[in-house]
Amino acid sequence: MWRFAAGSMRGGLRNASSDSSTVCDMAKGARSSRDATIDFRMLRRAYLARVHAGDVPHHDACDASTDLVRAAKHYGTQRRASCPLCGQQDLRNVTYLFGPRLPRSGRCITNSRQLHEVGSRPERFVGYVVEVCIGCRWNHLLSANPYGGRGSRSRERSRLRRRA
């Protein structure tokens, strides 16, 4: 998880198309932690510090793919904060969902109803929220959020109730 996060992940989903297995590994890691949301803000701060210090070139930090920028533009949630690199008010959050019967590179969430729907499913899903700047193409993973697993939990509860 941290190896992936600190190494190949860096700026979020940039590796989703070139190396989707790493994102899937990450999804597995997140799933194993069950219902916990994983917050990547500290990693983001550390990465930004490296960019500001000149250890990471801007073109490496601002390398959102055309698909990611397009997804952010059309389906992303507008942020009030300005971009940490270019200072423009073009920052959006876009969510990619990973789980059973979804593409290996995840499915871009186009409206909040989709997350609500998978939330009530028995299968477990992980939604990765990525921050993307439309202006300079800065991008970074913000959090990994669990969805679904509903049926299994209620079945477990009823089994426990039967035992009691």
Of 83, 109, 129, 130, the residue at the interface with Zn ion (CB under 5 A) is: 83
Query: Parallel, antiparallel, or unpaired for β 91-98 and 77-78?
Result: antiparallel
Q: How far is the CB of 88 from Zn ion (least distance, A)?
A: 5
Q: What are 96's strand-pairing partners?
A: 108, 128
Counting residues that bind Zn ion (by CB under 5 A) gives 7
Encoded tokens for 117 = 């729907």
Kindly tell me which of 25 and 63 has the beta carbon lying closer to Zn ion: 63
Q: How far is the CB of 13 from Zn ion (least distance, A)?
A: 16
H or E element that contains 20: helix 20-32
Kindly tell me which of 65 and 114 has the beta carbon lying closer to Zn ion: 65
Q: How far is the CB of 139 from Zn ion (least distance, A)?
A: 9
Kindly tell me which of 61 and 97 has the beta carbon lying closer to Zn ion: 61
- Residues for the chain: how many in total? 164
DSSP 62-120: S---HHHHHHHHHHPEEPSSPPTTT--S-EEEEEEEE-TTS-TT-EE--SHHHHHHHHT
Q: With binding defined as CB under 5 A, does residue 48 bind Zn ion?
A: no
x/- contact string, 113-152, with Zn ion (CB under 5 A)?
--------------------x-xx-x--------------
Kindly tell me which of 90 and 108 has the beta carbon lying closer to Zn ion: 90
- Phi, psi dihedral angles at 102 (to 5 degrees): -105, 155
User: Which are the contacts of 119, defined by CB distance < 8 A and separation ≥ 6?
Assistant: 147, 148, 150
Kindly tell me which of 71 and 133 has the beta carbon lying closer to Zn ion: 133
- The binding site for Zn ion (CB under 5 A) comprises 83, 85-86, 133, 135-136, 138
